Homo-oligomer: A and B are copies of this chain.
Amino acid sequence: MVRIMCVVSYDGTNYAGYQIQNNGITIQEKIEQALKALHKGKEVQVIASGRTDARVHAVGQTFHFDTTLTIPEKNWKMALNTRLPKDIFIESVHHVVDDFHARYDAIVKEYRYFVLNRKDPDIFVRNHRTHVRDYLDIHAMQEACTYIEGEHDFSAFCSAKTDIKGSKVRTVYHASCQKDGDQVVFVFKGSGFLYNMVRILVGTLIEIGKGERLPSFIIDTINSKDRNKAGKTAPPQGLFLWEVTYR
């Protein structure tokens, strides 16, 4: 038995999210089906770094599984990709130590959120960018990002639908936004993120960018620990799980 770790990218547009559930097709299901086919019908459970919501994408999601197959490391990638649909792609495959864990061993997770900031939408990126028509003040959003960094209780930025019972203290190592033509890219790196946390942060930053709130609104909202104080949850299609880092 060997443990395998994979880096996978997926276009979440046509999925009900990463994690297997009763209503809707999921990424996990497609990956487990591919592994089952490779293992001649035997079920193989995969453990990912975490879940992503419906219509959210990944370029660097990670997962691990155990196998008795003796496929050389370099052949695993093609073996899996030929059994996966066109919107899921295994980027790399690695043999790892027996006690490696894709979720518990992750030390940093990076998310990026892409906004198309111009008058007209661009139909070709409608599933991968969130369209914001109004002018966004990039400097105000950049100032607000600095208040996100650090160790805070992010209760105000956690969906009420969370199943987290314990602490909502998380450390954000990096939060920034940059303008690149008519695109605004938000980058967040942290020890971990609460349910919908990145999307609520972005929703709040957009309100700040529009001038509806001051940058310091982030500080007040963190201190309030009240989800009702924060901005709207930004739509899923701009969000990408970008990278998961291990020791």
- Assuming A91-B120, A120-B91, is B57 touching A126 (CB within 8 A)? no
Which positions 38-95 of chain A face chain B at CB distance < 8 Å? 57, 86-89, 91
CB distance from A74 to the nearest CB of B (A): 13
Q: Are A89 and B11 in contact (CB under 8 A)?
A: no
Asked whether A104 is an interface residue with its Cβ less than 8 Å from the other chain, the reply is no
Asked whether A28 is an interface residue with its Cβ less than 8 Å from the other chain, the reply is no
Which positions 107-130 of chain A face chain B at CB distance < 8 Å? 120-121, 123-124, 126, 128
Asked whether A193 is an interface residue with its Cβ less than 8 Å from the other chain, the reply is no
Asked whether A10 is an interface residue with its Cβ less than 8 Å from the other chain, the reply is yes
| Cα–Cα, bound, A121→B120 (Å) | 29
Chain B residue, CB-CB nearest to A13: B124
Q: Are A126 and B87 in contact (CB under 8 A)?
A: yes
**Contact partner, A124, options B120, B126, B128, Cβ 8 Å:** B128
| Cα–Cα, bound, A88→B86 (Å) | 23
CB distance from A229 to the nearest CB of B (A): 32
Asked whether A26 is an interface residue with its Cβ less than 8 Å from the other chain, the reply is no
Q: Are B9 and A89 in contact (CB under 8 A)?
A: no
CB distance from A194 to the nearest CB of B (A): 26
CB distance from A87 to the nearest CB of B (A): 5
Q: Are A86 and B126 in contact (CB under 8 A)?
A: yes
| Cα–Cα, bound, A134→B80 (Å) | 21
**Contact partner, A89, options B57, B88, B91, B120, Cβ 8 Å:** B120
Interface, chain A (partner B; CB < 8 A): 9-11, 57, 86-89, 91, 120-121, 123-124, 126, 128
18 contacts between A and B (CB under 8 A): A9-B123, A9-B124, A10-B123, A11-B123, A11-B124, A11-B126, A57-B124, A86-B121, A86-B123, A86-B126, A87-B123, A87-B126, A88-B123, A89-B120, A89-B121, A89-B123, A91-B120, A124-B128
Leading 9 A-B pairs by shortest Cβ distance: A89-B123, A11-B123, A87-B123, A86-B126, A11-B124, A9-B123, A124-B128, A89-B121, A86-B123
Known: A87-B126, A91-B120. 4 other contacts (CB 8 A): A11-B123, A11-B124, A57-B124, A87-B123
